[in-house]
Structure 1
Amino acid sequence: MISNRNKLTAVILLFVFCAMTGITSCSNAKKDNTTKFSPADYVNPFIGASTSTSAAGVYHGLGKTFPGATTPYGMVQVSPNTITGGDNSPGYSYEHKTIEGFAFTQMSGVGWFGDLGNFLVMPTTGELKKIAGKEDGSITGYRSYYDKKSEVAEAGFYSVDLTDYGINVQSSTTPRCGILKFTFPENKKSRIQIDLARRVGGTSVEQYVKVVDQYTIKGWMKCTPDGGGWGDGEGNTNYTVHFFARFSKPLENYGFWSADIPDGWSRKKDDVVSAPYLTRVSEAPVITGKDEMKGKHLGFYTEFPTQEEEQITLKVGISFVDMEGAENNFNTEIASLDFNEVKTQARQLWDKELSRIKISGGSDDDKTIFYTALYHTMIDPRIFTDADGRYMGGDNTIYSTNETFTKRTIFSGWDVFRSQFPLQTIINPSLVSDQINSLVTLAEQSGKEYYERWEIVNAYSGCMLGNPALSVLADAYVKGIRTFDVEKAYEYAKNTSRVFGNDKLGYTPSELSISHTLEYAYTDWCISQLASAMGKDEEAKVYAQKSQAYRNIFDKEKGWFRPRKADGSWQDWPENARTTEWYGCVESNPYQQGWFVPHDIEGMVELMGGRKAVLADLYSFFDKTPDDLLWNDYYNHANEPVHFVPFLFNKLNEPWNTQKWSRHICKNAYRNEVEGIVGNEDAGQMSAWYVLTASGIHPSCPGDTRLEITSPVFDRVDFRLDPDYARGEKFTIIAHDNSPANIYIQKAVLNGEEYSECYLDFSDIVQGGVLELYMGSTPNKEWGK
């Protein structure tokens, strides 16, 4: 019986009636120790908000987060957009000097060109312009320069001054709705205009809008692969965003523009920002005297005179189900609230969620890095269920969760199985349950009966590789999270391994043979763990044997993993093969990917020549890593394949090196600045790694209940536990005499008794208790071995 309940709507309604409190700008936050602790004070949404490839030194760019307003796991994100097209998934990059509008949906921290960025709203004055134009001014449009000093981003709030128009814009959100507040100058021709076709990685291919009454419009925007989006169309996203929008100023002088886009024109990410396409849209006729329109590239505007400092709001409900769902979301969450009430409620929601972990010690910058990282882990997987419990299923049919779980979307599986979901098993197990239920229902409704590795709005996108859903499933089950149809989940896991796995040859022959084979071997082990826990002993043995496939691509002559062809021969071994990116590996090299045998470290070490040889290789691996930890050939923290490697030292009886390098990475790969995440944030993974590691624990192999102990950044960390899944109320880690110099554990005490292991079991955490670590400036090489 699934017991997890969707309490979100009830929480929202409760907050509507709560007493309102003041909000302090995060960028200038003053931490007053005399007031109640507010973790939202330490959230800086500008951390990671850059797509710059030059700053990153690599084509992937930096964090790719967005600075706009959202709520924890919210469906809606109201954020400034500075760019359409290219590999700019958040639609925003801090170094850009102009804003082209404010969209109501955004992706967080990912590459592959991005998607969403729908319902782009822009306040303007003067002549109506129908295109945003180019930032470099080569094509003019309605985009505006903005005052960078005026830009404020907080948890649940964003504000900026548009200097071309003299307009201040503020945004906030509820989970399924957004609000914009515009402060206009005196002008006879002020305007709010909406580009209904706009999409981050291309365009919506068809739109509909209707004027409902004197204040309200509603409609939809259909997004398909023909309009680009995820993977520039290769990600197979096919979704419709429905909206219900209400202006605070009457619609008295309004109209539409409708561009005639020829049937043969491509409409993907680079096409829609090309000069011919923009010229065609700019020439679209303005249409008045009508109350509804449908077309290929629609815009809507409402014009009005304004007085100096006149404020106008736009509230919008969003649904991926239908227009009725958008209207119901609007009426349930935002209809009765003014801007300040929405803003305050959003902050309260963030304080509630961020309080799942409480820290003390460290500098203000450390706290800001930590709570912003925790904030970034709470963007995805976002809610996909409307307030009435309905959601769009994998067969494009409307379903209802009947309050048994919250349907969620954006499962960046290849990234988030490593840290993001292990973190949630501690602080938010119901979220893990939601995600597994979401994957199971998608597998069933789509008719595929296997799991997608990178799901976005029901799409089997095919992004990245491996079978990460199997890791999340096994890790949840062995940790006692079982509020889903276990037998069905298990059958789909086996199907997934059959469709994507090493079965045919005992390895996977491909251009990415190393990555494929190693990741499939690990997730077959995950199935064996699941089968064993379910009492299916014979099947557990079968999958445990399959998990040894990693041995079949280890070339003993070369002493390392090597890509293998279908006929059994090896691919040519180039010069510097181990550090050659894309040689048999995805977004990595064999040196980085080759450490990924988390389920059988003993077997891996034996293949690699024994403990001493492996340690010598690891020393070199880390010693050659640049201190800034930007993209490199060694410990490349900017991408996921190496994220378990620092914890290998615990497994090799040198825990002091896990402590040394994990503190080094926390210090150098994360900073309180825009360029403060060394790689793409990846839907919570980069941040979750920091949250766990800075707390003093991290898994080395999800699907196993073991958690490695390492050196905490903070003096005290309290994890609040969920009483529906845990016996204890909280688990606390205390680091005595902790400092930037005292990074080594001298001894440990667990619940009052001396503790000599360098790891915990998950059961130690969920039963509640206290782990005390005594820190020093030099390694204690006797502890934890």
Structure 2
Amino acid sequence: MFRYIKKYFAASVALGLAAVQPIYAQNLAKYVNPFIGASTSTADAGVYHGLGKTFPGATTPYGMVQVSPNTITGGDNGSGYSYEQKSIEGFAFTQMSGIGWYGDLGNFLVLPTTGRLKTKAGTIAHPEGGYRSQYDKKTEKASAGYYSTQLTDYNIKAEMTAAPHSGMLRFTFPKNDQSRIQIDLARRVGGTSILQYVKVVDNYTIQGWMKCTPDGGGWGNGDGHADYMVYFYAKFSKPLKDFGVWSADIPNDWVRKREEVGSDKYQDRIASAAILKGIKEKQGKHLGFYTQFATKAGEQVLMKSGISFVSIAGAKNNLLTEIKDWNFEATYQRAVALWDKALAKVNIQGGTTDQKTVFYTALYHTMIDPRIISDVDGKYPGGDGKAHYTTAFKKRTIFSGWDVFRSQMPLQTIINPSLVNDLMNSMVTLADQKQKNYFERWELLNAYTGCMLGNPMTSVFADAYAKGIRNYDVNKAYALSVGSVEKFGNGEKGYTPGGIGIAQTLEYAYNEWCVSQLAKWLNHPADEQKYAARSLSYQNIFDEDKGWFRPKDETGKWVAWPDSGRMTQWYGTFETNPYQQGWFVPHDVDGMVKLMGGKEKVLADLDNLFAKTPDNMMWNDYYNHANEPVHHVPFLYNRLSQPWLTQKWTREICRRAYKNSVEGLVGNEDVGQMSAWYVLAAAGLHPVTPGDTRQEITSPVFDKVTLKLDPKYAKGQSFTIVAKNNSAANIYIQSAKLNGRAYNKCYLDYKDVAAGGTLELTMGAQPNKNWGIVN
């Protein structure tokens, strides 16, 4: 085995490392294409939301560290990278995936350079004005755990790989008497860190921190309240002989949000930063560190760093625990092995190479967040600003609640229930530490950001509890759920007034249903009755005259109906129109159908929704897969006794909205949600209502899908879905067997999945309108 590994790495180095992958029992990492969705381009998306907004850099499953290229600071570019941009600012050690709202992280930005030291990044339009470099797109490679490219301005090859709490970069320099590695300590995707500290520890080591607060922009340009410290402990393979710090004098009265940081005035101040040669310790408002050296042609210089959100000591321990030497290939091999193990939770057979790539890249994207934020020793930053310690769970962060309660967290309940348990513990303890009596809806690095709407943790809790995932303080979680719907809910008024009243009223009604279910299970009969009644408040904003949901003002009067009616974007909704948002009554589909005029009328309306959807499924006014509120809609046909249309449309969405290309996601990845929808739908299962254990059956993309179960949470070892005679034409289920017995329902209960076994579907080219209509 050792000889094979040496041969493999010798070949991989010669081929650019990403060209081949090591052979494992299940070599699934080879199907990951991190470039899928790696664009923020609004021009290609046709809408201001942009495309997938994923990052192509190196990371590990749910890792704290992501070593990734950054092409842009500022704007609505959460990942810091967009494929079509032709220059790179540097390679950061922290990154967010698939988000808008200006983004955050992008800290500890490293770049190899040559020639005169430049202290500002420069711009996309004029990269020559700063240290950023153009790069050769033909040399750019990305795979699970690895990224590389050639920086053409400096003739330097940059490679990177990652461990869970640390990362390593390898730079191949040209012959130059003035080669360099420089680190912009102030850099942050959505603004700037407001204070930094760096210290030279010895001839090979530096350590320090970056302080990021809302005053420096970041998440929501400061409105997201992100407030965190990033600590680093970094080592260089070449000794520190000619080194120093640059320090820009930022006046105390300057605003430091993203627009100001990007202004000419601010950038001129950075460009004229003082260069302090030989200084060994410095704290300041805008610092960078550099180390210079002479290099021979083809000489490799490496750098590695641990990251912690707790302390410098934590960053040091993280690095020395995970990356003990300078063996780049071995570090990369470990990253690939972690991905192979994680991706093996779902095994597929059949499909084209492109389909397998789309599937495993989607699964990969569901394994970025909610990421670990605890150090290797179990210490983590608390919501009270203090360090805490636990081995009972892994502290996790970046919970994109409004997005991920729909598909991402339900997927994890099947293949990663311990993660769901971690998230529940993380959110319950966070509320305690921040002395809050409600759950946060969109958590980032302990911030109660208030982003988006609804109370999505009530959904995650209800779904987890219903599926037996309960290793956390259930009573506290219940109290926080009640606190959530009381603070943000339809209340005694029976609806939520205001500019996004349709979206809020419908989302809150579902959340109140989740709490009613929890109250039933936990024996709180008064609460069960109270919140079950409130869950019907969606009925209070249905206008029978217009035949659709309509917002009300504070006095209970209807808000004026626009000329374009329910097709009007932002009329009572958030990022949608009422036609799209109005289907969100997942907890009471029968009641919704009755309200809308009955089954036949609803079916005709659904047919219209899909028929008018553009073929490319980019942002549109009909079935808008680019945005979450409609993600359950294709499965409503199962509830309306036409399951063949669920089968038809999920296969169409899988084919048209997911591709093996940079533009392969029709909308923001949204921290795993967009990809989780594909993983579940392509496997043949998806819920309509998280918190209800019913799982809708649909047409699998693949001939065989095996979901590996966790024996701590499930009775079975695996659940397999077989699609006999499956093809691009044979998309309709003709008949089914569950564990060898005829099965005529278009849904399963979660307990059937958790018990293990096999669902066998026989496929055909025409709908069987007699199968699956038994409810």
* TM-score, normalised via structure 1 length: 0.96
Picking from 182, 189, 194, the partner of 1:193 is: 182
Comparing 334-343 with 305-314, greater Cα deviation is found at: 334-343
Query: 1:26-82, CA deviations, whole angstroms, 9 ceiling, x for partnerless residues?
Result: 9986799x9843110100000000000010000000000000000000000000011
Q: How does 1:99-118 map to 2 (within 5 A)?
A: 99-118=88-107
Query: 1:308-329, CA deviations, whole angstroms, 9 ceiling, x for partnerless residues?
Result: 1111111100000111111111
Tell me the distance in 2 between the aligned counterparts of 1:119 and 1:408.
21
Structure 2 match to 1:394? 383
- The answer on 1:332 being equivalent to 2:291 is no
- The answer on 1:474 being equivalent to 2:474 is no
SS at match of 1:165: coil
- The answer on 1:523 being equivalent to 2:504 is no
1:630 is displaced (CA, Å) by 0.3
Picking from 360, 374, 377, the partner of 1:371 is: 360
Comparing 329-338 with 47-56, greater Cα deviation is found at: 329-338
Q: Write the letter of the residue equivalent to 1:710.
A: T
Query: 1:347-367, CA deviations, whole angstroms, 9 ceiling, x for partnerless residues?
Result: 000000000000000000000
Structure 2 match to 1:11? none
Identity of aligned residues (%): 62
Matched-pair contact (CA < 8 Å) for 1:649–1:657: yes
1:273 is displaced (CA, Å) by 1.9
Mind listing any 5+ residue stretches in structure 1 that lack a counterpart? 1-14
Relative distance call for 1:139 and 1:234 in structure 2 (3 A) is farther
Tell me the distance in 2 between the aligned counterparts of 1:35 and 1:488.
43
Q: How does 1:572-587 map to 2 (within 5 A)?
A: 572-587=560-575
Structure 2 match to 1:341? 330
Tell me the distance in 2 between the aligned counterparts of 1:129 and 1:338.
30
Q: How does 1:476-625 map to 2 (within 5 A)?
A: 476-625=464-613
Q: Write the letter of the residue equivalent to 1:743.
A: I
- The answer on 1:243 being equivalent to 2:232 is yes
SS at match of 2:319: helix
Q: Write the letter of the residue equivalent to 1:275.
A: D
Picking from 669, 674, 686, the partner of 2:657 is: 669
Tell me the distance in 2 between the aligned counterparts of 1:143 and 1:63.
24
1:22 is displaced (CA, Å) by 3.8
Q: Write the letter of the residue equivalent to 1:768.
A: G
Structure 2 match to 1:224? 213
How many pairs were matched up? 769
Tell me the distance in 1 between the aligned counterparts of 2:454 and 2:203.
52
Relative distance call for 1:490 and 1:633 in structure 2 (3 A) is same
Relative distance call for 1:27 and 1:539 in structure 2 (3 A) is farther
Picking from 276, 297, 303, the partner of 1:308 is: 297
Matched-pair contact (CA < 8 Å) for 1:27–1:44: no
1:556 is displaced (CA, Å) by 1.0
Matched-pair contact (CA < 8 Å) for 2:237–2:326: no
1:337 is displaced (CA, Å) by 5.1
Matched-pair contact (CA < 8 Å) for 1:414–1:465: yes
Q: Write the letter of the residue equivalent to 2:717.
A: E
Query: 1:525-581, CA deviations, whole angstroms, 9 ceiling, x for partnerless residues?
Result: 001111212233332122111100101111111111001111010100001121111
- The answer on 1:753 being equivalent to 2:741 is yes
Structure 2 match to 1:690? 678
1:586 is displaced (CA, Å) by 0.5
Matched-pair contact (CA < 8 Å) for 1:26–1:43: no
Tell me the distance in 1 between the aligned counterparts of 2:127 and 2:685.
51
Structure 2 match to 1:174? 163
Mind listing any 5+ residue stretches in structure 2 that lack a counterpart? none
Matched-pair contact (CA < 8 Å) for 2:87–2:127: no
Over aligned residue pairs, what C-alpha RMSD do you find? 1.7
* TM-score, normalised via structure 2 length: 0.97
Picking from 37, 40, 53, the partner of 1:48 is: 37
Q: Write the letter of the residue equivalent to 1:751.
A: N
Structure 2 match to 1:4? none
SS at match of 2:258: coil
Tell me the distance in 2 between the aligned counterparts of 1:732 and 1:26.
37
Tell me the distance in 1 between the aligned counterparts of 2:514 and 2:562.
33
Matched-pair contact (CA < 8 Å) for 1:203–1:227: yes
Tell me the distance in 1 between the aligned counterparts of 2:671 and 2:758.
30
Picking from 685, 695, 703, the partner of 1:715 is: 703
Picking from 25, 45, 57, the partner of 2:46 is: 57
Structure 2 match to 1:154? 143
Structure 2 match to 1:295? 284
Matched-pair contact (CA < 8 Å) for 1:20–1:344: no
Matched-pair contact (CA < 8 Å) for 2:302–2:326: no
Matched-pair contact (CA < 8 Å) for 1:26–1:41: no
Tell me the distance in 2 between the aligned counterparts of 1:278 and 1:123.
21
Structure 1 match to 2:242? 253
Structure 2 match to 1:777? 765
Tell me the distance in 1 between the aligned counterparts of 2:348 and 2:499.
45
Tell me the distance in 2 between the aligned counterparts of 1:129 and 1:336.
31
Relative distance call for 1:29 and 1:762 in structure 2 (3 A) is farther
Structure 2 match to 1:736? 724
1:135 is displaced (CA, Å) by 1.8
Q: Write the letter of the residue equivalent to 1:118.
A: N
Query: 1:397-422, CA deviations, whole angstroms, 9 ceiling, x for partnerless residues?
Result: 11111x10000000000000000000
Query: 1:437-465, CA deviations, whole angstroms, 9 ceiling, x for partnerless residues?
Result: 11101111101121000000000111000
- The answer on 1:439 being equivalent to 2:420 is no
Tell me the distance in 2 between the aligned counterparts of 1:26 and 1:474.
47
Tell me the distance in 1 between the aligned counterparts of 2:175 and 2:379.
44
SS at match of 2:329: helix
Tell me the distance in 2 between the aligned counterparts of 1:432 and 1:537.
27
Q: Write the letter of the residue equivalent to 2:690.
A: P
Query: 1:619-678, CA deviations, whole angstroms, 9 ceiling, x for partnerless residues?
Result: 111111111100000000000000000000000000000000000000000000000000
Query: 1:175-203, CA deviations, whole angstroms, 9 ceiling, x for partnerless residues?
Result: 00011000101100000000000000000
